[in-house]
Amino acid sequence: MKKKEYYLLYLIAVIFFALITIFQKVPGYMDAEYYYGQSIQIVYKNGLFEPFIWNYLNHPAAVPVPAFSFWMPLTSLISSIGLVLMRTEQFYAARLPFVLLAGLVPVISAYFAEEFLPDKRAGWIAGSLALFSGLYLPYLTLTDTFTPYMVLGGIFFLLVFKMIFDSRNRFYDRFGYFGLGLIVGLLNLTRTDGILWLIAGILSILIINYKDRPRNELVWSKFIDFIKLALGFAIIMLPWFLRNYLTFQSIFPPGNSYVIWFTKYDDLFTYPAEQLTFIRWIDTGIGSILIDRFIALGSNLQTLIAVGGGIILFPFMVIGIWIKRNHQVIIVMIVMLLTLLGLMSFVFPYAGERGGFFHSLASMQIIFWSLVPLGLHSAVNFGVKLRKWDITRSWKLFGITLIAVMCLFSAFYFIGKISIGQEGNKPWNETQDNYLQIEQKIDDLKRDKTGIVMVNNPPGYFLATGRSAIVIPAGGIDAIANASIHYKAKYIIVDNERLEVKALLTKEILPEWQLEKLFEFGDSQVYEIKQ
């Protein structure tokens, strides 16, 4: 593809993703609400604080709490750029940087596709597949980590590729590893598991040095390259580590280590978090521990096929990987894929199967799409040999068919999400309506705009209403009562996502903790806490 064709592809992609935003007027689910809400806090409100509590892992003392103790800040920082440029806190402004970033995804995919298979048609096929993007389509223009992670992962592989195959360029020789360190730092600032990309950086050093350096220079050159990689990473992450140290007296929020001892996903909301211990974990039994992890592995492999491979693209993706299995970029990608698959299946199985692996996989998705034309070309060549197909006609026919099927698959999935929402219980653009109407009824009944609400989705409730909220904890009625007392919550809103809590709230557990049912709205029950 010529340079002007890449510009054209980028323009088409930006227009396409901009049109997608018309159909999603609100973030739609907690992650996107969190990052968008925090960008508003950064630009207009209270800086690096959260006016809600959505987990209790780091023992929050009271609302507000230090921001980004569990999730990382880069997505909100990117979103805040749109708010500053557009001089508004409206959602469309927060999405502007993500639309522009999403436009890069087809371009980088097309570039790699043409490098793997020197044919302009390969670039357009990969670019088109990345444009429609399958199960990622509803998320690429939202305030979530998908697009930053996807673009940064693509740039990481692009830089590794340039350092290997454009080694005569002194820029890559001098600054390549420093650039890799910067990208790894940005990946880590996007997601906690981004720190694992240091493994990819180190592996790239070993591969490139082994290829290009004389044996007598290997040790010294590796040492210098490690320093460059570490320096780039440190420039990005040291300020954040310093902030964490000043806030938590540790470069990593210490409560996040409890995640290792989860026995189910809802342990994320346990109160108090101190009960998440090794003893409790091991008491569930080795058999149960192993079964959960292999269930997570199975779920994550399904995610790899359905999301990473777009179901129909997966066979061609696998063929492409096999053909290029000795390519240095593909070796790095395979190592990272196995690393993240292992992490999200055996170390953090509950987070992994509930979307963690889906998010992490985005970092390699550009390479997946770029390998599909190579796999398709190999399949067409097999048909030519076996059935005497005309290669030009077959290549064109199957390429267009694959793009058309991917377009329809993406469209049906996107329309389904818009129709029933992320959780499958209400249309996407109505996800904040319940909270707004419940808030109005509370104000009408109690004339109270400041009392803390206990709810299933605190970031979403705060974003919709401006009222501080804390999450309904896991751990039974005692945990709910004790958390509401400690954080001085005045109301509880419970819906069908927490049916077990609805049942629990019929019990009286503490004499100093009583509930008065105020009203029902839809599937939500609203109680006032009497303390």
DSSP collapsed to 3 states, 382-414:
HHHHHHCCCHHHHHHHHHHHHHHHHHHHHHHHH
- The answer to whether residues 365 and 438 belong to one domain is no
Output the CA torsion sign for 137, 142, 144, 145: positive
Whether 93 is in a domain gets the answer no
Strands (E), 124-199: none
Q: Tell me, what's the pLDDT at 177?
A: 93
Whether a cis peptide bond, with omega within 30° of 0, leads into 106 is: no
Whether 159 is in a domain gets the answer yes
What's the average model confidence in pLDDT over 475-482?
A: 88
What's the average model confidence in pLDDT over 497-523?
A: 76
Quick count: other Cβ atoms within 10 Å of Cβ 260?
11
pLDDT tens digits, one per residue of 383-423? 888 777 777 888 889 999 999 999 999 999 999 999 998 88
Q: Tell me the HSE value of 338 on the side-chain side, using a 13 A CA sphere.
A: 7
Structure tokens that stand for 64 in this block: 């507000």
With 80 as the cut, is the pLDDT of residue 222 above it? no
- The answer to whether residues 411 and 436 belong to one domain is no
With 60 as the cut, is the pLDDT of residue 31 above it? yes
Structure tokens that stand for 136 in this block: 């990622």
Q: Tell me, what's the pLDDT at 218?
A: 58
- The answer to whether residues 292 and 252 belong to one domain is yes
- The answer to whether residues 452 and 410 belong to one domain is no
Whether 382 is in a domain gets the answer yes
Domain of residue 258 covers 111-420
Instruction: Answer with the one of 398, 420, 442 that is the final residue of a domain.
Output: 420
Alpha-carbon dihedral of residues 518, 520, 526, 528, nearest 10 degrees? 10
Whether 140 is in a domain gets the answer yes
Write out the DSSP string of 103-129: THHHHHHHHHHHHHS--HHHHHHHHHH
Q: Tell me, what's the pLDDT at 216?
A: 55
SS percent in the chain: helix, strand, coil, step 5: 70, 5, 20
- The answer to whether residues 369 and 491 belong to one domain is no
With 70 as the cut, is the pLDDT of residue 221 above it? no
Where residue 511 falls among pLDDT bands split at 50, 70, 90? low
Q: Between 30-44 and 458-465, two packed helices, what is the crossing angle to 10 degrees?
A: 50
- The answer to whether residues 359 and 412 belong to one domain is yes
CA distance 419 to 442: 29
Whether 178 is in a domain gets the answer yes
CA distance 247 to 234: 19
Q: Tell me, what's the pLDDT at 196?
A: 96
Q: How many residues does the chain have?
A: 531
- The answer to whether residues 409 and 475 belong to one domain is no
Where is pLDDT greater, at 168 or 211? Answer: 168
CA distance 49 to 384: 62
Q: Does residue 313 contact residue 364 with C-beta atoms inside 8 Å?
A: no
In the chain, what percentage of residues exceed pLDDT 70?
A: 96
Nearest C-alpha neighbor of 197 from the set 140, 237, 244, 241: 237
Q: Tell me, what's the pLDDT at 502?
A: 73
Q: Chain-wide mean pLDDT for the chain?
A: 92
Nearest C-alpha neighbor of 452 from the set 496, 484, 476: 484
- The answer to whether residues 406 and 456 belong to one domain is no
Whether 53 is in a domain gets the answer no
CA distance 455 to 467: 11
pLDDT tens digits, one per residue of 348-392? 999 999 999 999 999 999 999 999 999 999 998 888 887 777 778
Structure tokens that stand for 337 in this block: 């894929």
Terminal C-alpha separation, the chain: 69
Whether 32 is in a domain gets the answer no
Whether 80 is in a domain gets the answer no
- DSSP H or E run through 453: strand 452-455
What's the average model confidence in pLDDT over 222-228?
A: 88
Q: Does residue 42 contact residue 232 with C-beta atoms inside 8 Å?
A: no
CA distance 259 to 349: 10
pLDDT tens digits, one per residue of 81-125? 999 999 999 999 999 999 999 999 999 999 999 999 999 999 999
Q: Tell me, what's the pLDDT at 50?
A: 95
With 90 as the cut, is the pLDDT of residue 38 above it? yes
The domain total for the chain is 2
The segment with the largest mean pLDDT, out of 32-41, 172-181, 446-455, is 32-41
Where residue 515 falls among pLDDT bands split at 50, 70, 90? confident
Instruction: Answer with the one of 363, 389, 420 that is the final residue of a domain.
Output: 420
Q: Tell me, what's the pLDDT at 392?
A: 80
Where residue 508 falls among pLDDT bands split at 50, 70, 90? low
Give 137's DSSP letter: G
- The answer to whether residues 175 and 324 belong to one domain is yes
**What are the start-end ranges of the H helices in 22-137?**
30-44, 74-86, 91-102, 104-116, 120-132
Q: Does residue 233 contact residue 185 with C-beta atoms inside 8 Å?
A: yes
pLDDT tens digits, one per residue of 268-277? 999 999 999 9
CA distance 27 to 429: 8
- The answer to whether residues 410 and 449 belong to one domain is no
Strands (E), 269-366: none
Instruction: Answer with the one of 380, 399, 420 that is the final residue of a domain.
Output: 420
User: If you search the block for the tokens 């880069």, which residue do you land on?
Assistant: 74
3-class DSSP assignment, residue 219: helix
CA distance 261 to 282: 9
- The answer to whether residues 310 and 376 belong to one domain is yes
CA distance 472 to 55: 9
Q: Tell me, what's the pLDDT at 334?
A: 97
- The answer to whether residues 343 and 363 belong to one domain is yes
Phi, psi of 297 (to 5 degrees): -60, -45
